[in-house]
Amino acid sequence: MTTNAAPAGHNLPRNPGTALTPEWFETAQVNTSAAERRAATLVTRRSVKKEYQAAWLVKALQCIDLTTLAGDDTAGRVHRLCAKAMRPLRDDIVDKLGLAAHPPTVGAVCVYPAMVPHAVKALRGSGIPVASVATGFPAGLTPLPMRLAEIRWAVDQGAREIDIVIFREQVLTQNWSALYDEVAAMREACGDAHLKAILATGDLKTLRNVYKASMVAMQAGADFIKTSTGKEEVNATLPVSLTMVRAQRDYGELTGHKVGFKPAGGLRTAKDAMNWLILMKEELGRRWLEPDLFRIGASSLLADIERQLEHHVTGRYAALSHHALA
């Protein structure tokens, strides 16, 4: 049975969703050029330096869904990734940052369903949740019963978060009732696991479609909305993310429920992480800088954050290869 209580690792009640309410989004207009201008100002109007930048980067690290979604994933690779998730920074960097009493960890480890048992075993006792992609990731074109079965299997194996992909045709043809019904069914299949709805925004063609798909997914009970699978030609961008977080703000004002946000695909540098943190702070507020409301889907990003933090405490830049991902 699906509940709305906050599971371990999350501090907020689940998004219970609403009835499908097209009047909340059907007439929505998105000014693309204005969205692009606003996104551009985010990276030029704010400058965070020195110890403040280090604090923001530690926060970004804590919001990472450390991810491996490769066809040649192995149990060994997943175990190494989980070891890095539990100790993402070298001990000397942690000590010099003054964090030895409470060393930071990442927000979650994200893997394919078949790798969930390995990740759960490796992370046991750490408090770090295992997230799993599901529902025919990345295309999402398998029959619905198979997609729901994949969710249930991953949850049964110990996944506490499920990253589903929507059926993009339903957005492109404006079949909102079908999209709503499928996401609601996936939410039910998740049980107590959090549902992150991947919109694959690079396939949705317009920002108006992005806004509408965001609103329908939240009405259907998505706990997070996520930009991309990381496999599209265009993944997370600031204008797309701005459109999605504006939809979240509207949904929150209409319902009183907070929904999380996850950009994924293309975020590779510490500067990228800072840009998205600034977006969340300016558009939604300080509360959306915590991992129960903000995640970054990434693999290589962690290495650059560790490199920048090493520079902060030593004054020297190491080669990027010095900070192995796992």
Catalytic residue selected from 226, 272, 292, 304: 226
Q: Give the torsion sign (CA, 317, 303, 230, 199).
A: negative
Helices (H), the chain: 32-42, 50-62, 75-86, 91-96, 116-123, 144-156, 168-172, 176-190, 207-219, 238-255, 270-283, 301-314
- Whether 212 sits among the annotated catalytic residues: the reply is no
- Give SS3 for 133: strand
Residue among 163, 223, 272, 304 flagged as catalytic = 163
User: Cis omega (within 30 of 0) on the bond before 104?
Assistant: no
Reference 236, options 259, 277, 284, 202; nearest CA is 202
Q: What's the rounded Cα separation, in Å, for the pair 223 and 218? A: 7
Residue bearing tokens 């097209």: 22
Question: Which among 68, 139, 57 has a CA at the least distance from the CA of 104?
Answer: 57
The answer to whether residue 226 is catalytic is yes
Give the active site residue among 262, 272, 292, 304: 262
| Token representation of residue 264 | 């994924």
Look up 49 and say whether it is catalytic: no
Q: Which residues are catalytic?
A: 163, 226, 262
